[in-house]
Amino acid sequence: MAPLLTPLLAVRGSDGTSLLRGPPNCEENSAFQRDSRQSRYVTFSKDGSLFGWCNGEKVSVVKSSDGSLVGSFDLPKTAMLEFSPQNKVLATWQPYTKTIANKLHLQKVSEFALSPGNQPSKVAVYVPGAKGAPSFVRLYQYPNFGGPTSALANKSFFKADRVTMLWNKKATAVLVTASTEVDKTGASYYGEQTLHYVAVNGESAIVQLPKNGPIYDVMWSPNSTEFCVVYGFMPAKATIFNLKCESVFDFGTGPRNAAFYSPQGHILVLAGFGNLRGQMEVWDVKKYKQVSKPQAADTTHFSWCPDGEHIVTATCSPRLRVSNGFKVWHYTGSVLYKQDTPSGAELWEVLWQPFPSGTFPEKPVKYQAAPSELGSTEAKPAQAYRPPALRNKPQTASSKLHEEEPPQSMKPGAGGEKQMSKSALKNQKKREAKKAAKQEMKSDAPPTQTEPSSSNAAPAASTSGDPDTDKKIKNLKKKLKAIEELKEQQSSGKPLQKNQLEKIQKEAQLLKELEDLELGL
């Protein structure tokens, strides 16, 4: 019987560098001699067999299995290091220059992202727009850099001061988050963000997000066929999309701003760190069922163990200089190990030992909490803040400060109703649109003298009783419809005139006017 694999956990802090044997006990590895000097950087090789670190005096490499020294190098200025994929070369970094073998001649490139995985390598490049021209992202395969015709794919878009580009694991597609510094509509303090999908087969699309607000996190599933987006004003929504940019599952709303897939892709953690309270939602993404809901306050670092069973959360300096330490959890919510950094010392980093893909196969998801002497920290349901004037009154829809949505699986009728096919959904939308058009035609048609209206008959559409108000509502709806058509042209890459762009910027103002008029009905 093969010995049980136990991942190591590297701990780098102000009191030195150490290696701990992985969960559940996390004891210090006796085969590794703790380095009491402060390390600048620590790393494992891709297969986890080697561990290296630099401490301002030298660079050291040891075997992870027994701690034996592989090599020591007198390189005191080293700030970063990386092992080659086959563990034959160790690259160390300090300011240097390098001759480039192949060049991509493209003006004003401001961002690029190299694909992960094996050859052939691919690269995504971003060129910002100027003087009314759209920004664009192009995908190339190394070394075919011979102009626009050699590009694998091209996606152009407006509203982008900067972008972040994320390749999937198989290097078949890129997710591009485009951001503006300022939201000209005034709807958001954080500017405006859009998400675009670009594939190496030439397909591209804009990802339609049903809630307005910032995009906090975008994460590919390890299977490269789905991705999760956390977005919208708090409480934020989280949705899984497929490669056609269609919604696969909606997690509803909650206090979250980050998403983390397990290495095997079978579990997803939605978390609220930073200025949120550290609530984590652990989901089985095969059944779309919630497993646990632990809480890790003041977390500045989260990472999955390669075994897909455990996670580590840490509070590190310099992000937070108090209450430093880390916890090792089982995904069912149990805390298996806890280490608090002594007073006066700082924790800088924790890092799991990596393993080659496939070392730890996917296991069935458990729903019962793993046994632990430290127990779990299930997040207690928090009472929403209510103004003093409303605290002794029954809660109504209008008294809620935030709009809350349950996960898709918990919405009424979700258990028994079969999900409609695309064609059925499309036909339903057509029927609803035709019905709405008939209603509008009835409301717009003048009353005839030959058919006296009955005093008991219900009106075809709700009116305010004021012809001027009804006319304003009708005109606002026409303007908003025209803006939607302009936005569709813009998303397709068609340049717009200045006056057309100004119309789009007035959308939020028109929506507010329409809402005020309709509330007065």
255-269: per-residue pLDDT in tens? 999 999 999 999 999
How many Å apart are CA 439 and CA 461, to the nearest integer?
A: 7
- Please name the amino acid found at residue 336: L
Does position 402 have pLDDT exceeding 80, yes or no?
A: no
What average pLDDT does this structure show over 314-343? 90
Distances (CA, A) of 301 to 217, 284, 438: 15, 22, 56
Band of pLDDT at residue 100, cut at 50, 70 and 90 = confident
Distances (CA, A) of 333 to 293, 306, 330, 368, 417: 7, 17, 6, 9, 31
Instruction: Please check whether residue 122 is in contact with residue 163, taking contact to mean a CB–CB distance below 8 angstroms.
Output: no
Q: Which of 93, 113, 148 is the last residue of a domain?
A: 93
Check residue 91 and give its pLDDT: 92
**Coil/strand/helix, residue 518:** helix
Check residue 449 and give its pLDDT: 44
Does position 277 have pLDDT exceeding 80, yes or no?
A: yes
What average pLDDT does this structure show over 94-103? 64
Query: 444 or 67: whose pLDDT is higher?
Result: 67
Check residue 103 and give its pLDDT: 67
Residue closest to 222 by CA, chosen among 293, 153, 290, 167 = 167
Domain assignment present for residue 32? The answer is yes
Q: Which long-range contacts link 179-188 to residues 24+ away (Cβ below 8 Å)?
A: 184/505, 185/505, 185/506, 185/507, 185/508, 185/509, 186/508, 187/212, 187/508, 188/212, 188/213, 188/214, 188/233
**Coil/strand/helix, residue 409:** helix
Does position 173 have pLDDT exceeding 90, yes or no?
A: yes
- The domain containing residue 87 runs over which residues? 8-93
Query: 393 or 115: whose pLDDT is higher?
Result: 115
Query: 461 or 508: whose pLDDT is higher?
Result: 508
Domain assignment present for residue 412? The answer is no
Please count the structural domains in the chain. Answer: 2
Query: 280 or 464: whose pLDDT is higher?
Result: 280
Q: Verify cis geometry, omega within 30 degrees of 0, for the bond prior to 120.
A: yes
HSE-up of 159 (CA within 13 Å, CB side)?
A: 23
Domain assignment present for residue 73? The answer is yes
How many Å apart are CA 14 and CA 346, to the nearest integer?
A: 5
Which residues face 141 on adjacent strands?
122, 144
Domain assignment present for residue 51? The answer is yes
How many Å apart are CA 177 and CA 218, to the nearest integer?
A: 8
Band of pLDDT at residue 453, cut at 50, 70 and 90 = very low
Does position 496 have pLDDT exceeding 90, yes or no?
A: no
Does position 383 have pLDDT exceeding 60, yes or no?
A: no
Domain assignment present for residue 39? The answer is yes
Q: Which of 93, 118, 150 is the last residue of a domain?
A: 93
Band of pLDDT at residue 118, cut at 50, 70 and 90 = confident
Domain assignment present for residue 15? The answer is yes
Check residue 405 and give its pLDDT: 80
Residue closest to 309 by CA, chosen among 246, 267, 368, 248 = 267
Distances (CA, A) of 303 to 52, 250, 259, 349: 20, 24, 11, 11
What average pLDDT does this structure show over 145-150? 74
Exposed/middle/buried for 488, CB within 10 Å: 0-12, 13-18, 19+? exposed
Mean pLDDT over each residue of the chain, to the nearest integer: 80
Residue closest to 227 by CA, chosen among 210, 212, 249, 211 = 249
Question: Which of 344-353, 385-394, 511-520 shows the highest mean pLDDT?
Answer: 344-353
Q: Which of 93, 112, 131 is the last residue of a domain?
A: 93
Band of pLDDT at residue 436, cut at 50, 70 and 90 = low
Domain assignment present for residue 305? The answer is no
How many Å apart are CA 44 and CA 50, to the nearest integer?
A: 6
How many Å apart are CA 11 and CA 20, to the nearest integer?
A: 8
What average pLDDT does this structure show over 386-414? 61
pLDDT-wise least confident of 59-68, 87-96, 174-183, 481-490: 481-490
Domain assignment present for residue 243? The answer is no
Band of pLDDT at residue 274, cut at 50, 70 and 90 = confident
**Coil/strand/helix, residue 194:** strand
- Please name the amino acid found at residue 11: V
Exposed/middle/buried for 371, CB within 10 Å: 0-12, 13-18, 19+? exposed
Check residue 451 and give its pLDDT: 41
Residues with Cβ within 8 Å of 269's Cβ and at least 6 positions away in sequence, in order, are 259, 260, 262, 280, 281, 282, 283, 302, 311, 331
Band of pLDDT at residue 303, cut at 50, 70 and 90 = very high
**Coil/strand/helix, residue 331:** coil
